[in-house]
Amino acid sequence: MPRTPTIALLGGFSDDPDTLLDDFALERAGRPRPKVCFLPTASGDAPGYVEKFHATFAGRGCETGHLELFRRTVTGLRPFGPPVPLADGLGLLPGSLCPHYDGEPERRPGYLAAVNDGALPGGWAVDGGAAGVFADGCLVEVVTRRPGATLHRVSVGGDGSVAEVAQPVRQLGT
């Protein structure tokens, strides 16, 4: 039975100066009109961000959709305090996920603390500009549009300490 890819893509269409991650994801879809779903949770489902996603990918011949996890009237989460774990994810992959791992000073220490304290299970932390490709729940490939960006495996070791391991990455556009 062929493995079905799931792409966890963060970074890309919004602020990047190129379309390397978008191109990679659409090529991996392997069909002329792929279905692309946007989970704008990190932006608090900011309407402008969602609209930009639809315009960008519909303009590239995709069937677009998005899944709102918040109903906010502001464009970010800052007025509501620091980022906190969202413990009831979608179940697409086992464990937890931290987007924008290197993008905000409080992301990395907050995620590591949440895993260490048991508020979240171990999982994946993705830097801006990187993407992980999973098939049947297993990591297949990590790509980046930006040198130094990658996907990190975060887990609690046998001694109870949190470990993060940067995954090997393939640089796009080189």
Between these two residues, 142 and 39, which has the higher pLDDT value?
142
Examine residue 158 and state whether it is found in any structural domain, yes or no. Answer: yes
- Residue 133 to residue 154: CA distance in whole angstroms: 17
Examine residue 35 and state whether it is found in any structural domain, yes or no. Answer: yes
User: pLDDT digit string (tens) for 51-92?
Assistant: 988 998 999 999 998 877 655 433 333 444 455 555 556 677
Amino acid at 145: R
pLDDT of residue 25: 84
The residues, any chain, with a CB within 8 Å of residue 127's CB and separated by 6 or more, are 11, 100, 101, 102, 103, 144, 146, 148, 149, 150, 151, 152
Examine residue 82 and state whether it is found in any structural domain, yes or no. Answer: no
Cα dihedral across residues 42, 44, 45, 48: positive or negative: negative
Examine residue 87 and state whether it is found in any structural domain, yes or no. Answer: no
Q: What is the domain count for the chain? A: 1
Alpha helices in 63-134 (DSSP H): 107-117
For 50, the domain range is 5-77+92-169
Examine the pLDDT at 17 and tell me if it is beyond 60: yes
Examine residue 86 and state whether it is found in any structural domain, yes or no. Answer: no
Examine residue 85 and state whether it is found in any structural domain, yes or no. Answer: no
Examine residue 68 and state whether it is found in any structural domain, yes or no. Answer: yes
Examine residue 163 and state whether it is found in any structural domain, yes or no. Answer: yes
pTM here? 0.79
